[in-house]
Every structure is written in C-alpha cells, then in structure tokens.
Structure 1
C-alpha cells in the first residue's frame, strides 16, 4: 500500500481527489487529505475506504510533520506562501513533493539539497503553470526536431465562464482562488516583442488589452503575464524576437478591471477602517468626487466614460455605487474587493466554467515561414467539478501515478518541460477531453 498526502481541499482539489480515489483500489493507494476544514474534506472524499480526512492547522508543526513522515508522496494545493513550510519538511523526511504553484525564491534556495537527497520536487504541475509548459514544449521539440527555426512564441490561457453561463456585465465568474484574481497583474508584466523588451505597469496592463480569435468563441482579450522573459531560458528560446505568455478574458472584463485599477480599488498595502464606511465612499476615496453629482456621474466623470456606460453598469453590479455599509473591520482595498467578487461573481450550482489555452508559434523551415496555432477548450460539469479543477488537479494526479509506478526517474527541483513527463501526462489528459487542436498558416 502506498500512502499519498494531499494538503488543501479547496476549489482546485475536487478532480484531483476524484482521480486519486478512482485509482486507489487498483494502484493500492491510501489518500490522506489535510485541511483546516473537516466538513470540506468530507464533502470531497465522501465515505471512501481509501481516504482519511485530517483536520489540521498547517502551522501546527507536530501534526504536519507526523503526516509527512508517514506518507510516500506529498501534493500541496495550499496557498503559495505555505508551500515552503511543506517543502522543508519533505526535504527533512525525504519525501517527493508535487504542486501546481510557481517555483518561488525560497524553494529555489533548497535546490542543491533537493538534488543531493535524490528527491523530486515538481512545481508548476497544474494548468497555467503546467499544461501550458507541457503542451508548448511538445510543440517546440517537434518543430526543432524537424529543423524548424522558431522566431515568435505566444502562449495564452484563461479560466473563463462558459458562454451559456454568462449572466452578468463582467462576463466572468470565479472558478478558483478569488484572492489570486484580485491581485492578478499587480506586479505588471515584462515580455519581448519584435526584438524589444516591453514593460507594462499594473496601471497600463488592462489598458493595453489586445485581442485574439478563438475558433467557436470569437474575440478574447489578453494581457501579458508577470515576467515572460524568465521562461525564455526554460523553453530554450533565448534568442527569438517575440516571446510572451498572457492571460485570456472576455473583453468586457478587462475594460471593467481597468476601471477598478484606475479607482485604486485593488491596492493591497494600505489598510482602511470599513466599519461605518459605505461602498460608494470607499469607491471614491482616492478621487475627488463632485458633491452635487450622482454617484454614477461622479465616478463616470473621473473615468472619462458615460454614466450609462457598460463600465458604470459593471461597478453598480458589484455594489460599488450604493450606500450600503461595508463593516468588515480593517481591510485593504484588495480585501474589500475580494469580499465583493466572491459574493457577486460566484458560480451558481448549475454554472459551467471553461478553460481556454492557445499557443501561436511562428517558425521557418526550408525558407518557408509558418504559423502554428494550437488550442484547447475544456468545459466544466458544474460549479464543483469545474474545468479549472480538472486542468489543475489531473496533471498532479497523473504524475503521482507515474512516480508511484516508478515510471519517472527524475530528481531535483523541476517543472514539467521534459518528454518523459509531458508525453504520458498529455496522452492521459486526452482521456478526460483535455486535448489540443492544431492548424497551420
């Protein structure tokens, strides 16, 4: 019997837990799911003979280490800042670790120790990052193997709402961590375009939204992600003229979010006392609003839009222009906004989300320029078994199986860019309708 320990039973864990429990009888696994919320764990594991719920505080060192010492492999779906705590324990007890989060500077400091211990710490093994790396590297390696010279690489991914479930002016609902959505883009973006490094501040990011066409979906807006340049070396595309990784949204979302940024409502540093503070007074606390003007007119004037515009409708939908009192104690603006979007943009039980990913690669082979489009559109089943949960959780589950079957011999701190990982994982993902279509121009 092999023991698997999963930290975190939140939104992204549902499909992973389903996968592990489905495979448990045949593979002879037992799965321990650890989270602070016992009822949440039980809602995901049911009464399975192959699962043990463990309600613990992740900061309780003795409880955490007892679980890690007793297992064969650890998967972490905790908030990113907590991974390092688990990683240090995995190193101490010599356990392999898988997570969907980015490699951070703290775990990077452990790189030599991880390698020396002969362990595999696989980070970025979810959707984006994860499936994006695997599908991109499969294309890149295939083009290079046939003698193609790549000169432009663009990769796009978005967690969206299915068009059938759109019923609000934002064209968006939350299918994953709301805090990550509120803070997305806050560090700006860096990428390369036609040989020049481009840098966008947070204030410029949504203002510069451009669009791409997706088969069956039409026009989607995109904004560049964080530091795209950091992946040029990972993908071995250091010398190409254009390299960009970007997030996809329906165009209305970017327009509305740009207004929130302009109003200063995404700030996560300055704390505000919200008791007795109305949402409208919070919404205009960074601007000089005309006293005589209606709430709509005052905000519209500052944003340079009509009081009847779509943007004002979006702000009204979130409840920003009414006199309701916030009453959340001391909060940052980002915290208040998170509270609002979790309420106003939540998925209803019958809602379905959608994951869209696309790679655009331009390359030259035998003096002929070619553009390759590779895209994947995956729909969720409902508000629990979401496309986001599938695409984040299944790659982790499949790699867990490969490791415990001893089909993977990798060690060290890694992300999934090698054929021995991406080939079997992408192949099995197709069984779950997570597959890419390709076209050439």
Structure 2
C-alpha cells in the first residue's frame, strides 16, 4: 500500500482530497491529511475508510518528520512561506514532494541536493502556476516542431465569479487566498511589448487596464502580473517581442481597485497609523488613510480631486459596498491597513453556499510559420459546483492529484527540482485534466 501525506486542507485542497480518495481503492492508497484544524480535515475526508486526519501545527518538527517518514510521497498545500519546512524534511528523509506554489529562493538553494538524492520536487503544479505552464508549453512545442518561431505571448488568467452568481457591484467573490487579493499588484509589474520593456509601479498597475472579450463570458480587464520576463528562459521565448502575463478582473473591479491603491488602503507599512486608530471605527481609519496618503480631507474631497467625473459614481458605490464608511470597530488582530482591507473583502465578497466561481485562462500566441504571421488563441473556462467544490479548488487540486498518481505508478520518472514544462509531465497531465472537464479550445487567426 502506498501512503500519501497531504499538508493542509484549506479551500484549494477540497477537490485534491476528493480525487485522491476516489482513486485510493483502485490504486491501493492511504491518505493522511495533516491540518492545524483537524475538524476541517475530517470534514473534507467525510469518513472515507482510506483517509485519516491528523492535527498538526506546521512548526511541530517531531510530528512533521514522523508523518513524512511514514509516507511514500508528500503534497504541501500549506501557505507558501511554510513549504520550505516540509521541503527540508523531505530532502532529509528522502521523499518526493509536490506543491502548487512558485519555486522561491529558499527552495532553489536545495536544488543540487535534491538532484544528488535522486528526488523529485515538482512545484508550480496547480492552476497559475501549473496549468498555465503545461498548456503554454504544449502550444510552443507543437508550433516549434512544425517549424514555427514564437514572436509574441500574452497569457491571462482569472479566478472569477460565474455570471449566474454575480450579484454584487464588484463582480467578484473570494474563492482562494484573500491575502493575495488584498495585495493584488503590490509588487508592480515588468513585461515586454513590441520589443519595449515596460516597468509599472504599484500605484499604476490598475490604471487604464486593457479589456478583452471572452466569447460567452463577457468583457474582462487585464492587469499585468509581477515580472513576466522571468518566463522568457522558462518558455524559451528569446525570439518574442511581446511577453506579458496578466490577471483578469471585471472592468469595474479594476477601476475601483485603482483608487483602493491610491488611497493607501492596502499598505503593509503603516502599523503606527493603525495603532493610533485602534479604538476608532473603520470609517475613521478610511478617512485617516485619505488624509495621510492623498491629503484629501473627506471621501467626497478624494472623489472630486482624484477620480474623473465619469468614474465617481462607480467608485463611490463600490467603496460604500465594501464597508469603508462603516461605523463598526476596526477588526481585532489587524496591524496594518492591508489587514483591514482583507477583513472587508472576506466579509463583503464571500461566496454563498450555492455560488459558482469561474476560472478563465487565455493564451495568445503569435508566431511565424513559413513566412506567414499567425496567431493561436487558446482558452479555458471552468465553473465550480458550489462554494466548497470550486473551480479554483478543481484547477489547483486536480493537477497535483493526477501528478501524484503518475509518479506513484511510474509514468513520471523525472527527478530534481522541476516545474511541469516537460512533455513527459504535461502530456499525461493535460490528457487526464481534459477527461475531468479542464479543456482548452483553440482558434487560429492569420495576421
């Protein structure tokens, strides 16, 4: 019997757990879910005879190592900053590891040791990163094998609310880590377009976002993601004059979020300000942010000074809906403005039990083929079942579950610190994802 250890049972782990349990009898697996909230883990296992929940705080070194020693393969769905604890243990105890998170600098330091121990640490195997890597590389490899040269790549992805569940003015509800939403765009953006390098500071990320139309799903604004240039060597895009990755949101969301940023509401460095308003209301904090970051005296003053007349009604409505004028007290355990903003997002933009979320991913690949300039548009739309079995959980969890099976059955033999850009990994993964309703549709254009 093969034993699988999963760290974490949060929002994105729901479908992963279900997939592993559905396969457990046929593949002769036993699944252990280690979670700080064991009741959460038990609820996801739902009494399955091949599932066990274990209460674990991530810093419990002894129990963490014991669980890893007793397992054949490890999956970490912990917050990204905690992956390194599991990774070091897996290296010491010689166990393969899978995560959906980005490879960070700390993990890179283990690269040579991972290879020397003939282990596989497969990272970035979720949605974005994950499905984006696999689907893009499949396109690139196909074009190159036919003699084509890539000249441009744009990739857009959004975790959104399905139209049938869209009933708030932000046109958004939270289906994944709310911290990432509160800090959207915080790192600024770097990308290349028409051969020109573009560097966009945080204060400008949400300004004048381009809008694309997705057939059957409406129009969506695109704001650029972090550093798109890091994907040039990963995808071998040296010949491309345009390389940009972006996140999709409703245009109204991006319009209003632009002023969230300008008002300083997502700041991570204003603990002194928050401490001085500890006994005040959310409205008092909001006004203090306006005073400090924009020199506006009131919200009306901010609207008149910073927001074009055509956008003022929308921004006023969305800010009020978010609760920024609330007389309620500041939430406990908040130390900076971003904490308060996150609290408002979690309380105002929550998924109701019957809500369906939606994932949209679009790749636009321009290339030269035998002297002809062409473009492939590859698009994916996935909708969730409800607020628990979300499209986000499905698209993050299924790639990890499928990869786990392929490794345990010997169909993936790669070693080292990897992401799923190799054909050996992406081909079987994409085939099974398609069988589970995660399928890209392509359209070709002559340019």
What TM-score, normalized by structure 2, do the two folds share? 0.96
Deviates more, 1:320-329 or 1:425-434: 320-329
Deviations 1:212-266 (A, max 9, x none): 1211123110011111101110101123111111111111111111111010010
For 1:297, the equivalent position in structure 2 comes to 300
Task: Tell me the CA shift for residue 301 of structure 1.
Answer: 2.5
For 2:69, the equivalent position in structure 1 comes to 69
Distance in 2 between the 1:438 and 1:360 partners? 10
For 2:172, the equivalent position in structure 1 comes to 172
For 2:51, the equivalent position in structure 1 comes to 51
Asked if 1:99 corresponds to 2:102, the answer is no
- Cα 1:402–1:327 shift into 2, 3 Å: closer
Distance in 2 between the 1:249 and 1:174 partners? 12
- Cα 1:125–1:327 shift into 2, 3 Å: closer
Task: Tell me the CA shift for residue 159 of structure 1.
Answer: 0.3
Asked if 1:425 corresponds to 2:437, the answer is no
Asked if 1:282 corresponds to 2:280, the answer is no
Unaligned runs of 5+ in 1: none
For 1:259, the equivalent position in structure 2 comes to 259
Distance in 1 between the 2:284 and 2:130 partners? 41
* Contact 1:279-1:323 at 8 Å conserved across structures: yes
Distance in 2 between the 1:67 and 1:208 partners? 50
- Cα 1:49–1:327 shift into 2, 3 Å: closer
Aligned residues: 438
Unaligned runs of 5+ in 2: none
Deviates more, 1:319-328 or 1:37-46: 319-328
Distance in 2 between the 1:396 and 1:56 partners? 21
- Cα 1:147–1:330 shift into 2, 3 Å: closer
For 2:438, the equivalent position in structure 1 comes to 434
- Cα 1:11–1:128 shift into 2, 3 Å: same
For 1:362, the equivalent position in structure 2 comes to 366
- Specify the SS of the correspondent of 1:4: strand
Distance in 1 between the 2:305 and 2:18 partners? 49
Task: Tell me the CA shift for residue 423 of structure 1.
Answer: 0.6
For 2:193, the equivalent position in structure 1 comes to 193
Deviates more, 1:428-437 or 1:325-334: 325-334
Task: Tell me the CA shift for residue 336 of structure 1.
Answer: 0.7
* Contact 2:290-2:298 at 8 Å conserved across structures: no
* Contact 1:35-1:56 at 8 Å conserved across structures: yes
Show the 5 A alignment for 1:230-249: 230-249=230-249
Distance in 2 between the 1:81 and 1:283 partners? 30
- Specify the SS of the correspondent of 2:335: strand
- Specify the SS of the correspondent of 1:155: strand
Task: Tell me the CA shift for residue 303 of structure 1.
Answer: 3.0
Show the 5 A alignment for 1:133-172: 133-172=133-172
Distance in 1 between the 2:237 and 2:121 partners? 24
For 2:353, the equivalent position in structure 1 comes to 349
* Contact 1:152-1:361 at 8 Å conserved across structures: yes
Task: Tell me the CA shift for residue 331 of structure 1.
Answer: 1.5
- Cα 1:332–1:359 shift into 2, 3 Å: same
Task: Tell me the CA shift for residue 294 of structure 1.
Answer: 10
Deviations 1:25-72 (A, max 9, x none): 000000000110011001100111101101111101011111111100
- Specify the SS of the correspondent of 1:255: helix
* Contact 1:276-1:327 at 8 Å conserved across structures: no
For 2:20, the equivalent position in structure 1 comes to 20
Asked if 1:380 corresponds to 2:384, the answer is yes
Asked if 1:88 corresponds to 2:93, the answer is no
* Contact 1:296-1:321 at 8 Å conserved across structures: no
Deviations 1:67-105 (A, max 9, x none): 111100000010000000100000000000000000000
Deviates more, 1:321-330 or 1:206-215: 321-330
- Specify the SS of the correspondent of 1:277: coil
Deviations 1:383-407 (A, max 9, x none): 0000000000000000000000011
Deviations 1:362-414 (A, max 9, x none): 11111111111000000000000000000000000000000000111100001
- Specify the SS of the correspondent of 2:288: coil
Task: Tell me the CA shift for residue 185 of structure 1.
Answer: 1.3
- Specify the SS of the correspondent of 2:228: coil
Q: Match for 2:414 among 383, 402, 410?
A: 410
- Specify the SS of the correspondent of 1:314: helix
* Contact 1:374-1:439 at 8 Å conserved across structures: yes
For 2:401, the equivalent position in structure 1 comes to 397
Task: Tell me the CA shift for residue 184 of structure 1.
Answer: 2.1
